[in-house]
Amino acid sequence: MRVGSVREVLEVPASTVDEIVALSVERYPYEACGLIAGPPEGDTVARFFPCRNVAESARVYTLDPLDHLRAERAAENAGWEIVGVVHSHTHTEAYPSPTDVAQAPDPGWHYVIVSLRDETAPSLRSYRIVGGEVSEEDVAVTRE
C-alpha cells in the first residue's frame, strides 16, 4: 500500500522470519498461524506469538482464542500491540485467498503469509487488507 508516495515496509528480524517458517513447516499439513507484535501502530515486528490453529485444516486457519488472549496480554505488558497476523498456505502461493480477505479483522494489521508450495524454498510475503482491497507491502528482513 502506498501512503503518499512512500510504499510501506514491514521490518522483521531474521530470527523471527526463521521462527515463522519453521512453525509453518512443523505444522504441515495444516496451516500454521500466529500473531506479530511491535510498537503501537508500527511497521516493526518485535515478537512473533505462535498460536494453535483450532480449525486443524490445510485450507483455513482459526487462531486459538486463548493463545490470542495470551499474545495480547504479553504484548501489552511489553508496551507493544498486536500489529498483524501470520499464517501459512500449504499448497498455494503466499497471496491472500478470498477467505483470508473476508476474514481480515483489522485494516491496520499486516497480513503475513508463508507459502510452502515450493518445499525447498518457502516464501514469506506481507499485505495490507483494507475494505476488501489487497495491497502487498515490502518485507525488510533485519539483523538483530
pLDDT tens by residue, 64-122 = 999 999 999 999 999 999 999 999 999 999 999 999 999 998 999 999 999 999 978 99
Distance between CA atoms of residues 88 and 74, nearest Å? 23
CATH 3.40.140.10 fits 2-142, yes or no: yes
Predicted TM-score (pTM) above 0.85: yes
Q: For residues 45 and 19, is the Cβ–Cβ distance under 8 A?
A: no
- Cα angle 20, 23, 25; round to 5: 110
Domain ranges (residues) in the chain: 2-142
Distance between CA atoms of residues 15 and 133, nearest Å? 30
What pLDDT is attached to residue 42?
84
Does the pLDDT of residue 7 top 80, yes or no? no
Q: How far is CA 77 from CA 24, 43, 47, 50, 58, in A?
A: 27, 19, 13, 17, 33
Q: Give the pLDDT mean for 123-143.
A: 96
